Amino acid sequence: MIILPAIDLHEGQCVRLFQGDYATAHVVADSALETAKSFQEQGARWMHMVDLDGAKSGCPQNAGLILDVAQNVDMHIEVGGGIRDMAAVESYLEHGISRVILGSAALRDPAFVKEAVKHYGKKIAVGIDALGGKAAAEGWTEKSQTDYIELARQMEAIGVEFIICTDIQQDGMMSGPNLEMLDKLNRAVSCNIIASGGVSSLLDIVNLYDLGLYGAIAGKSIYTGALDLRRAITACQRVSGKAPKTRQAVEDELERYFQKSELIPAIIQEESTGEVLMLAYMNRESLMKTLETGTTWFYSRSRQALWNKGETSGHTQQVCSIDSDCDDDTLLIKVKQKGPACHTGSHSCFFKKLWPKKGDTP
């Protein structure tokens, strides 16, 4: 599950609201850019930003500040608030924003959402903000009669892949997310669901993870110190054979391993004995296939193609666990090896003694 720390902007300042009430806005950080940099230092790869003034007025008001942040951090950023036409969508995406969030437009102008999805696919998300089970609009100042699940299904039908769901009653209250509401939504549609509102602790993150959600947004809990962002990210980014609900969620979780290079070395170790069997390289696709199949897949640098260990020889490797090193740039994969691991017939590829040889002093 992806953790997205949040920055909400009101009149150029980082603020938090209680239950969407603009009158309760209070400053939580001095600088949006410095706050974003601190999120990055703690391991965040995605960040959620909202132009509160834009959401209320119907057009972006803090775009300059948002784009300045985007140009000075190495994170993916999703942005919402006042994006009601293609010009606003294009402006954000052309200037480094990874995903834009359409909120009120989903209720007021579904044809616009459909057009945006047609042109930009998964770079478009829809924000569904609910109050009493009914979708709200215009910066949460207006409540519709449209059920939040009905709206989500309409968005799914026109191709929306990402939905950010907020229970307005929980937002900023530090009382825990509405798990029942989120679970119903996650079961009702095939979209990637991002939970927003109410996250107060690591336990809330675990509960959301257990629902099989794609992501969770955390704001006030991070600013107050109730949630340790680094610990939350670590808890949700463990590489294991148990995949999240969608392939997209897996891809986003694995992205951090390929920040330095398109290939990552993988040390293969016999699970039962601890013997190192071989060293190979993985790209994103081969690591994905390894997780999906439970057997090792690698990338051949000489053939520039994927290969499944043991596909022709029958000397397969069943994956027991995958760990990364402290810098997230090398993997250790423990396996159950069937037959020899080396093409020479040796159980391990590491059988040529370099030092110490007979007579040498270690």
Would you write out the chain's pLDDT as a tens digit for each of its 362 residues?
A: 899 999 999 999 999 876 666 777 788 889 999 999 999 999 899 999 999 999 888 899 999 999 999 999 999 999 999 999 999 999 999 999 999 999 888 888 999 999 999 999 999 999 998 887 788 765 445 566 789 999 999 999 999 999 999 887 665 556 789 999 999 999 999 999 999 988 999 999 999 988 989 999 999 999 999 999 999 988 886 544 444 446 676 777 788 788 789 999 999 999 999 999 999 999 999 999 998 899 999 999 999 999 999 999 999 999 999 999 988 899 999 999 999 999 999 999 999 988 887 777 76
Q: Give Cβ neighbours of residue 212 (< 8 Å, ≥ 6 apart).
A: 186, 244, 245
Query: Where does 226-273 show beta strands of DSSP type E?
Result: 264-270
Task: Please state whether the peptide bond connecting residue 340 to the residue before it is cis, i.e. omega within 30 degrees of 0.
Answer: no
Q: Which amino acid is at 142?
A: E
Distance between CA atoms of 279 and 266, rounded to whole angstroms? 6
How do beta strands 276-282 and 331-337 pair?
Answer: unpaired
**Position of tokens 């490797």?**
317
Q: Tokens for 115, please give them.
A: 């057009």
Check residue 285 and give its pLDDT.
93
Q: Tokens for 192, please give them.
A: 């990637």
Distance between CA atoms of 81 and 55, rounded to whole angstroms? 4
Using only C-alpha atoms, what is the Rg of the chain? 23
Distance between CA atoms of 193 and 127, rounded to whole angstroms? 10
Beta-ladder partners of 319: 335
Compute the 3-state secondary structure of the chain and give helix, strand, coil in percent, each to the nearest 5: 30, 30, 35
Integer angstrom CA distances of residue 175 from 19, 152, 314: 12, 25, 54
CA 153 to chain centre: 22
Distance between CA atoms of 304 and 302, rounded to whole angstroms? 6
Give the number of residues written for the chain: 362
Distance between CA atoms of 200 and 180, rounded to whole angstroms? 17
**Position of tokens 């099989």?**
212
Distance between CA atoms of 97 and 63, rounded to whole angstroms? 11
Which active-site residues does the annotation give? 8, 129
Cα four-point dihedral sign 138, 88, 14, 237: positive
Q: Is 14 helix (H, G, I), strand (E, B) or coil?
A: strand
This prediction's pTM: 0.74
